[in-house]
Amino acid sequence: MKRPLIGITCRLAPKPEYNTAWHYLQREYSEAVWDAGGLPVLIPLIADEAYTRELIPHLDGILLSGSTSDVDPARYGQPRQPECGPTHPERDAVDLSLIHLALDTHKPLLGICFGTQALNVALGGTLIQHLGLPLPHDDRNVRHDVAVEAGSVLEKLGSGRNFVVNTSHHQALDRVPPGLRVTARSTADGVIEAVETTDPGRFLVGVQWHPERIYKEEHLSRALFEELVRQAKS
């Protein structure tokens, strides 16, 4: 069977010394999609609605990657706090456009870290601009426990309700909009670790951890990519 085409958003790295910027992405995202049976393709950050509208019919599924940037607080109606990191308008524009187009066209979508935060904002939610908590959520070497809600997609995919995940984020979801429900939290401090759509007829999931880094060793993280690809095939 033909592999479904999974579009993965790139990151943006300004390079002032070269008077230009780079679109790039770590290899793990594409490898995870490929290993799950999908055909990965990177999406450049062309902040033009005409671009994403012309692109979306060619995609079978969407993966919103993490980012070194933060979502601009203006997009969720808040003033910028000093701890908020750099923002890239191009990344915000492409992610938010793809989210709305995915909803309009019933494309399956998986958000990772920044991608989950963008998903929350796109649907009307807000973010915590900086986590000042004992658990260092922004340390990629840290692993911590998460508790998954009963009846969630995550419980089904992982065949359980308690998992160990990695972490690399200094922001988190705050107010979650009506179209999403919280389906996982950190057991140490209650930080939201996953959301999914309230519509049972579609696959729309966001996780705050980085499954692309641990999918070869953690069942739930691997199952997220496999389900994205399965949904994209159908």
pLDDT tens digit sequence for 97-113 = 999 999 999 999 999 99
Only one residue has tokens 């995609």, namely 59
Q: What is the DSSP letter of 135?
A: S
pLDDT tens digit sequence for 32-89 = 999 999 999 999 999 999 999 999 999 999 999 999 999 999 999 999 999 999 999 9
Catalytic annotation present for 227: no
Catalytic annotation present for 10: no
Catalytic annotation present for 144: no
Question: pTM of this prediction?
Answer: 0.94
Q: SS3 of 92, please?
A: helix
Mean pLDDT of the chain: 94
CATH of 5-233, one of 3.30.390.50, 1.10.3720.10, 1.20.1050.10, 3.40.50.880: 3.40.50.880
Single out the catalytic residue among 84, 196, 210, 218: 210
Single out the catalytic residue among 193, 212, 218, 227: 212
- Is the distance from CB of 100 to CB of 121 less than 8 angstroms? no
Q: What is the pLDDT of residue 169?
A: 78
Q: What is the pLDDT of residue 147?
A: 97
- For 105, the token pair is 């066209």
